[in-house]
Amino acid sequence: MRVLVTGATSLLGQTVARQLIERGTDVAVLQRGPSGLDAKEHLGDITDPAVVARAVTGADAVVHVAARVAVVGPWKDFQRINVNGTRIVLEAARAAGASRFVQVSSPSVAHSGMSLVGASAAPADPGGARGHYARSKALAEQAVLAAPDMAVLAVRPHLVWGPGDTQLIGRIVERARRGRLAVVGSGMALIDTTYIDNAADAIIAALDKAPDLSGRALVISNGEPRPVRELFDRIATAAAVESSRLKVPAAVAWLGGALAERVWNCTGRTGDPPMTSFMAEQLSTAHWFDQRETRQLLGWTPAVPLDEGFRRLTAWYQADC
């Protein structure tokens, strides 16, 4: 089977592609810059139909990881990449005769801001999704799961992290170094995360099982929820920086985040604001998922427990010093 992986310069996309290569799969990748992988490489944007058509030629399956991941920014940017780009990749895959399509989605597509305690994968809800990223990913997931003539599956890894991660880990460590890492609310809300190798394993399992599970959406996590404060402390310890000493009431964080979003969007500022309303919700409410059905359907269990993941993260930071 020949597999096209999009977004192979991201931590998750690169890990998926590398694991496929290591098991002997014929892999092609599509992203804007060189990936450094031993795979047939296509450079370009997923919103360019000609580039996508060339990349997907001869592919039996597509793992679509490429996306705009940001906490702020104009809707048109999220729509162009996450919605329109996904549709372009999907239609090109169908036209090329690919039989399987795995959409890497996000649990945020079905999160309306309330606590999620042992939740299952609810249907994507663009109307209730919080923020441009979540809404755009919800629309993209709906388009994929409605596609005819292909085995389609949406996988929603929850808060993926690991050595080299610039999204979750990088942002937390940078804020801790500047003394700006704040615990929102009590810091005791239980949150589950997904170690990078486990996320990639699950996506590949989904690729293998797609014909049997077509039309499904599955949330992926380590299945080891921990309080937010504990996660902050362990990430900071791994990076040898002081953990959070700031505490902000949830309501104050939400209002401050909403104001920051307006300022960033109105002024066109780049970079992350200190807080957003979505971040305040995520840091002050529980969100963890019942993994029993997902593991049974995929025939998959996480190979790297949370403690081992933090050991590897610590070793990575020590080697980088």
Q: How far apart are CA 98 and CA 115, in angstroms?
A: 38
Q: Tokens at residue 31, please?
A: 């992203």
Using DSSP's 3-state secondary structure scheme, residue 181 falls into coil
Q: How far apart are CA 308 and CA 64, in angstroms?
A: 28
Which residue out of 133, 232, 288, 300 is catalytically annotated? Answer: 133
Residue 207 near residue 102, CB atoms below 8 Å: yes
Residue 184 near residue 3, CB atoms below 8 Å: no
Question: Which are the contacts of 100, defined by CB distance < 8 A and separation ≥ 6?
Answer: 60, 61, 62, 150, 151, 152, 153, 207, 210, 211
Q: What CA–CA distances, in Å, run from 31 to 48, 49, 129, 263? A: 11, 13, 27, 31
Q: How far apart are CA 239 and CA 267, in angstroms?
A: 33
Q: Tokens at residue 310, please?
A: 């933090």
Q: What is the residue type of 93?
A: A
Which residue stretches of the chain are H helix?
11-22, 49-56, 75-78, 86-96, 131-145, 168-177, 196-213, 228-238, 250-267, 277-284, 292-298, 306-320
Q: Tokens at residue 143, please?
A: 């388009």
Is 133 labeled as catalytic in the residue annotation? yes
Q: For 197, left (φ over 0), alpha (ψ -120 to 50), or beta?
A: alpha
Using DSSP's 3-state secondary structure scheme, residue 294 falls into helix
Any idea which residues carry the catalytic annotation? Answer: 133
